[in-house]
Amino acid sequence: MKLAILGGSFNPVHLGHLHVAEAVLSVLGYDRIVMVPAFTSPFKPGAHEVSPADRLDMLAASIPGDPRIAVDGCEILRGGVSYTIDTIADIRGRYNPAGKPGLIIGDDLARTFSQWRQAADIAAETDIIIAHRESSGPVGFPYPYTALDNAVMEISSASIRDRVQNGEPWRSLVPPGARFIIEDRRLYGYAPEDAGNGASGQAPVSGTGVSHELIARVEAEVRSLVSPSRFLHCRGAALTAYDLCARFGLDPDRGYLAGMAHDMAKSLPEGDMKRLARRDGGNFSKLERKKPSLLHGRAGAVLLRQKFGIEDEDILEAVRHHTAGTPEMGPLARAVYIADKIEPSRRNAGENFRDISRFAELDGLFSAVLEETVAFLRLKQTDLSAGTLALLDAVHTRRDL
Ligand SMILES: [Fe+2]
Ligand SMILES: [Fe+2]
């Protein structure tokens, strides 16, 4: 396997780094790039505002599903000042590349290369690849090298750190996984109140409950479990639940997560759905036995707990009960129930409720959506579950009080 090493601070990793890695793979015919974050660069001691573990995590979160790129934490494990000559020996020993490994350096670093420890040995043991970082002009370099014909991207880690700190747009300059870690861990002075709101087209503001990293993991799982069109329904429900929560004083991120997950078990084979649903400890109702697809809410809640360790009872309840509802369901579950029915990709339902600003309270909107849903089910002569009937009763009783 032809392998090339791409070292750096990755503070944070950005699209320019990934572009260089891709150019080496596709233009120079390498099979794999090993990205190695420095513990401390000999030339930038003390320059890191975040921990080496944060930088390593951002890298690891930026390459899921990409077999062309590995991330190696050897310099961080070694600690101290990171010298390239040590890293080369370590990587060669563990990865066993075919021939000399490539060593990718930017033209900005190429100018100081002769000051690196054992520079001549590095040049002898690797095939040096010089990537354009600052310009596309020629580089004066005293050792043999290959010039990479890559696009120069106007992105630097320093400018991203400044942008995050100053509340300027930065999210599209880093891979999504790195973005979620910066937001969740509040790196580089990230402050959620500077993040804008949905109307500005920026990211959801983090609430106190769930991390963006977890949301991204659940979303990836949902995408793998359901068809593309159902995934769009789930995304519509997630965004609608987010908006409902923001409007009615609930945590929008928890709404998004529950909305995203509500149908995650919907496309499972019937046997799997039953097996999962049974693990919540409840019995099957007569209606559930007759129509097992109704179990997808219960099965989805079990999946969320088992696979992602989610113990937030409000989120689990929202997924569990979105199908039939129950009189006991709390505000988050009500928001998700509504979102499932009115999200914009549903063409034939919910149009009376799309303007949620008409409703002053969540319960008013919930009752109206419930009644429309029940009327629709009756029209189709669909059996109503005991939960739905009890819920309808409860809504009517509350109104009569
Ligand atoms: Fe559903
Ligand atoms: Fe749904």
For the stretch 280-327, pLDDT in tens is 999 999 999 999 999 999 999 999 999 999 999 999 999 999 999 999
3-class SS of residue 328 = coil
How many Å lie between the centroid of ligand 1 and the Cα of residue 297?
A: 6
Which regions in the chain score pLDDT beneath 50? Answer: 45, 47-48, 194-207
Q: What DSSP designation does 43 have?
A: T
Q: Where are the alpha helices (DSSP H) in 11-98?
A: 15-28, 52-60, 74-78, 84-95
How many Å lie between the centroid of ligand 1 and the Cα of residue 263?
A: 5
* Residue 29, phi-psi category: left (phi > 0), alpha (psi -120 to 50), beta (remainder): left
CA distances (Å), 9 to each of 29, 44, 215, 218, 304, in order?
Answer: 25, 9, 27, 29, 35
From start to end of 80-157, where are the E strands?
102-106, 127-131, 146-147
Q: Given this model, what pLDDT does residue 206 score?
A: 42
Residue 154, C-beta contacts closer than 8 angstroms, at least 6 positions apart: none
Reported as a single tens digit per residue, the pLDDT across 225-267 is: 999 999 999 999 999 999 999 999 999 999 999 999 999 999 9
**Amino acid letter, 21:** A
Give the whole-angstrom CA distance, residue 315 versus residue 373. 22
Domains in the chain with CATH codes: 3-158 (3.40.50.620), 212-400 (1.10.3210.10)
Q: Where are the alpha helices (DSSP H) in 111-227?
A: 119-125, 157-166, 176-184, 212-225
Closest listed ligand to the CA of 293: 1
Closest listed ligand to the CA of 346: 2
Q: Given this model, what pLDDT does residue 136 score?
A: 58
Give the whole-angstrom CA distance, residue 53 versus residue 34. 17
3-class SS of residue 105 = strand
How many Å lie between the centroid of ligand 1 and the Cα of residue 10?
A: 41
> Do residues 106 and 134 make contact, with C-beta atoms less than 8 angstroms apart?
yes
Closest listed ligand to the CA of 350: 2
How many Å lie between the centroid of ligand 2 and the Cα of residue 271?
A: 20
> Do residues 285 and 386 make contact, with C-beta atoms less than 8 angstroms apart?
yes
How many Å lie between the centroid of ligand 1 and the Cα of residue 93?
A: 51
**Amino acid letter, 144:** P
Give the whole-angstrom CA distance, residue 344 versus residue 239. 10
**Amino acid letter, 367:** S
**Amino acid letter, 250:** L
> Do residues 75 and 36 make contact, with C-beta atoms less than 8 angstroms apart?
yes
| Element spanning 35, H or E | strand 32-37
> Do residues 55 and 10 make contact, with C-beta atoms less than 8 angstroms apart?
yes
Q: What DSSP designation does 19 have?
A: H
Tell me the pTM. Answer: 0.78
How many Å lie between the centroid of ligand 1 and the Cα of residue 234?
A: 9
How many Å lie between the centroid of ligand 1 and the Cα of residue 92?
A: 51
Enumerate the β-bridge partners of residue 105. 130
